[in-house]
Amino acid sequence: MRRYWRLYRVFWRNGFRREIEFRANFWAKVITNFAWLFFFIALVEVIYARTNAIAGWNRNDAFLLVATCYWMSSVASITFFRNLGMLPSLVRLGTFDFVVVKPVSSLFWVSFRFVNMDEIGTLIGSFAMLGYAVSRMRPLPDVEQVVEYFVLCLSGLTMYYSFYLLTMTTSFWLVRVDNLSALIDTILYMARFPTDIFRGILQRVLTFVIPLAFIATIPSKAMLGRMEWWLLPVGVGLAAFFLACAVAFWRFATTRYSSASS
Amino acid sequence: MLKRFHLWWRKVRAIFSIYFQDSLAYRGQAIVWILTDVVPAMVMPLVWLSAYNGKSAIGGYSPGEMVLYYLCMVTFTNFVVAHLMWDVATEIKEGRFSVYLVRPFSYCQTLMISNLAWRVFRLMVFVPMLALGVWIYAPHITHLRYEWGITFWLALVLGHVVSFMLSYALGLLALFFQEVFSVYNIYYIPMLFLSGQLVPIGVFPDWLQAVSRYMPFQYTVALPTEVFMGRVPDSLAWQGIGMQVLWTVLLYGLSRVFWRKGLLYYTGVGM
């Protein structure tokens, strides 16, 4: 475990060095990502200029929701999103060979090798937004609500990682799944809206089958003190379940890997 | 004259069929790209439906019209909105662009035809998704007055031409600058907002609607959608079509300048 921690610190240093090598490019990416954060703030403003609640969420609640979704997806981009996105080409070109022979867990390597620094600005921006939204809450959330929020966010991130890993692992068979990451991005786009807008079966599907609700809606509700208490253990349980499935599927897939070039 | 036209037409057909087959070959990826447009557009009506809270209209749209707006808009987007600057820029960056320079056929026309082939393919794949959307939203669709006339077809075709010219000119920027992808990334922000792909233009505050009238974006997909729904009186529709023609001419001129000046910078990487 300590070895992995040390390795991960090296990955961070390495990522940072790569970014300062192409500084102009780095700033361009940071500014672009920041602009997209404003894009979504503007969308919220446009919608709330015409109404004061969407499915019971007022403007401030919506900011909390968007900030939550944004910081979670920034964390995902910084850590695993880009890395797992490269898996299909690793498999297709046979360069996955080099991963397999490294003396570390190949799953760890494939998930976390490159630290993607250009989302750092978005992360800071969305935390600022989160702070703004929370400071305007009346009454302010108590410690319990904040803890629940972060626990649920962590489970949400775990589910996100597991789902993405499950999808990307299919590349061992399907080979050409390069833009599936664009699809995952699109699905995540839906998470920026409260899942309360969906009715009936669809809402249940988005909570328990494709756990989109756990990405932002349910943690935000925990912060707002509007969540049913049983969703907390369910969230943690689902996260553990999906992670176990994803890792098992990964193990199964890698035993089937038969290189591409050699 | 006729013989030359005949020859040209044969080339057009050949290019069309090549790129249509190309789209077929990459159908899996194609479906994903289509979904990235369709999913957000199909979710937005739900957002709005939960926002009315008993109000009868938002930005001049009743709930039913709002649902219909998104269904029509996303249908037309398949044909109208071009994203080809990414491909143009990649071809220029990697030097594959050189191939087109020596071919006896204009690059701009090749792009137009190949893009059209992709559009036709997209529409075919989109039909079942539209059927699903209509089925889901059927209880909300009450509006029944559509405008099928000449203004709609003109607005639709010219909307595509404006969008094509815009992305073509942006693509040619890659002749001058190495790093254009961040520019494109930022371009999408005003484009998505002001083209009516995110929310109908009528929902914006007045000042933004005024700004939007002087931008090319709303003349791509918002105009044909609103004309089709019968929301635009004839005189205003013709005015919009006039703006489309104006933007087409302007952007075509701009792309000619980019082409002529840009080729002087082009180094043909990899030759």
Cβ of B193 and A42 within 8 Å? yes
Pick from A35, A49, A50: CB nearest B186 = A35
Please state the rounded mean pLDDT for residues A152-166. Answer: 94
Please state the rounded mean pLDDT for residues A16-40. Answer: 85
- Helices (H) and strands (E) in chain B — how many of each? 11, 0
Cβ of B186 and A46 within 8 Å? no
B221 closest CA partner among B76, B123, B119, B84? B76
Q: Which two tokens stand for residue B265?
A: 């910078």
Q: Can you tell me whether residue A10 is helix, strand or coil? A: helix
Annotate A138-169 with b (16+ C-beta within 10 A) or e (fewer).
eeebeeebeebbebbbbbbbbbbbbbbbbbbb
Please state the rounded mean pLDDT for residues A205-226. Answer: 87
Give pLDDT, residue B158.
96
Cβ of B36 and A198 within 8 Å? no
Q: How many C-beta atoms surround the C-beta of residue B213 within 10 A?
A: 13
Please state the rounded mean pLDDT for residues B188-200. Answer: 92
Give residue A185's identity as a one-letter amino acid code.
D
Cβ of B185 and A32 within 8 Å? yes
Q: Which residues of A touch B209 (CB under 8 A)?
A: none
Helical H segments across A22-58, by residue range: 23-48
pTM, rounded to two decimals:
0.88
Asked if residue A262 has pLDDT above 60, the reply is no
**Residue pLDDT, tens place only, B36-52:** 888 888 889 999 999 98
pLDDT band at A107 (very low <50, low <70, confident <90, very high): very high
**Residue pLDDT, tens place only, B204-224:** 999 999 999 999 999 999 999
What distance in Å separates the CA atoms of residue B42 and residue B35, rounded to the nearest whole number?
Answer: 10
> Which residue is listed with tokens 């815009």?
B166
Range in B19-28, B160-169, B196-205, B221-230 the model is least confident about: B19-28
What distance in Å separates the CA atoms of residue B143 and residue B228, rounded to the nearest whole number?
Answer: 12
Residue A159 vs residue A198, higher pLDDT: A159
Asked if residue A178 has pLDDT above 70, the reply is no
| DSSP-derived secondary structure letter, A210 | S
Instruction: Tell me which residues of chain B have a C-beta less than 8 Å from any C-beta of chain A.
Output: 28-29, 32-33, 35-36, 39-40, 43, 46-53, 55, 58-59, 179, 182, 185-186, 189, 192-193, 198-199, 203-205
Which of B42, B43, B50, B87 to mutate to test binding with chain A, by most A CBs within 10 Å of its CB?
B50
What distance in Å separates the CA atoms of residue B157 and residue B76, rounded to the nearest whole number?
Answer: 10
pLDDT band at B271 (very low <50, low <70, confident <90, very high): low
What distance in Å separates the CA atoms of residue B78 and residue B125, rounded to the nearest whole number?
Answer: 10
The answer to whether the bond into A139 is cis (omega within 30° of 0) is yes
**Residue pLDDT, tens place only, B88-119:** 999 998 888 888 988 888 899 999 999 999 99
Which value does ipTM take for this structure? Answer: 0.83
Give pLDDT, residue A161.
94
What distance in Å separates the CA atoms of residue A132 and residue B235, rounded to the nearest whole number?
Answer: 47
**Residue pLDDT, tens place only, A73-101:** 999 999 999 899 888 888 888 888 888 88
pLDDT band at B143 (very low <50, low <70, confident <90, very high): low
Pick from B43, B182, B193: CB nearest A190 = B43
Cβ of A46 and B199 within 8 Å? yes
Q: Reduced to 3 DSSP states, what percent helix, strand and coil does chain B have, rounded to the nearest 5?
A: 75, 0, 25
Q: Can you tell me whether residue B58 is helix, strand or coil? A: strand
What distance in Å separates the CA atoms of residue B97 and residue B90, rounded to the nearest whole number?
Answer: 9
